[in-house]
Amino acid sequence: MLRIEYLYWLVGAFLIACAVLNLRERHYSMAAFWLILAGPFVFGDAILGALKQDQAWPAQAMGVGVIALGLLAARGRLRMTADGPGEQEQRNQSATRLGNRLFGPALAIPALTVALFLGGKILASQGIELLDPKNLTLTALGLASVLALFAAFRVTRAKPLQSIHEGRRLLDSLGWAVLLPMILATLGGVFAATGVGDAIAALTSAVIPIDNRIACLLAFAFGMVFFTVIMGNAFAAFPVMMAGIGLPLLILRHGADPAILGAIGMLTGYCGTLLTPMAANFNIVPAVLLELPDQYGVIRSQIPTALGLMAVNILLMIVLVFR
């Protein structure tokens, strides 16, 4: 059975390879950054085992690692060396020669992920567990990515070692921004666990008339956008706003439909995703990959769409949520 840990080890090995390549080129800050990040992927099982035994050192070590990553990123030296004229010309010639075939391996990833996920569920129902049943989606995505890599070898006729060098080049060009999706994914749970939702409920009760359902709904909608801008992800903002306003005021006090409120509320939050550099995987990474002259050009082009969609979503909630 393909366990999710095997894929984590593969990611860790790739990060270590990136660190070694940077170390050979004397990019010490970049090498240290990827080496520290590789630790949780490689030693994840040992860390979890120690935590289950109530040992404090794993949490302390992870805390030191997070601080170290922040200090390395703050130094501003996580920058990839620019390609030489010959490398850029060779890359352009290769892209021209391969044309649209380059998109094949990338497009194969979602298709293979769906196929592996559905196939894994069918096989699991028959008692055959080829993929990790507890992490079926992630395992399917990881295996699909590996299969797409082999497809890329066939399309480009490149040597396997070239994938390490190109992957390292891509990772170095993204730099610290590659961490944001992982960090922001946990931020909502941290905020909810530390009582931010209760603080928002108290603040809302003091500022707006809580007996007015429209006022509560507007506070929920704008709060979803605001917290998404801060956190970079509506999934992180949702538990905070639902605990602070959605559940106690809109659902329990004013009888709002939880399904409609949750669905349109999440979509409203994603209007904030279009407006923030914190959503690095949507707004900063594309600018880096496309080498746009304006780092925030993607965000600027999305502002009209975000504001228009937010207005439409608020109107939909006013009409539908309290029916």
Give the model confidence (pLDDT) of 189-235 as tens digits: 677 677 776 777 777 778 888 889 999 999 999 999 998 888 777 87
In one-letter notation, the amino acid at residue 272 is G
At 86 the pLDDT is: 67
Hey, is 298 helix, strand or coil? helix
Residue 141 has pLDDT above 70, yes or no: yes
State what percent of residues in the chain have pLDDT above 90.
Answer: 33
Dig out the tokens for 85 from the structure: 């004229």
Mean confidence (pLDDT) of the chain = 85
pLDDT digits (tens, 9 = 90+) for 69-114: 888 887 766 666 556 666 667 777 777 777 888 888 889 999 999 9
Q: CA 37 → CA 156, 181, 219, distances in Å?
A: 30, 14, 38
| Average pLDDT, integer, range 11-39 | 91
Burial class (CB in 10 A: 0-12, 13-18, 19+), 214: middle
| Average pLDDT, integer, range 35-43 | 90
Number of alpha helices (DSSP H) and beta strands (DSSP E) in the chain: 16, 0
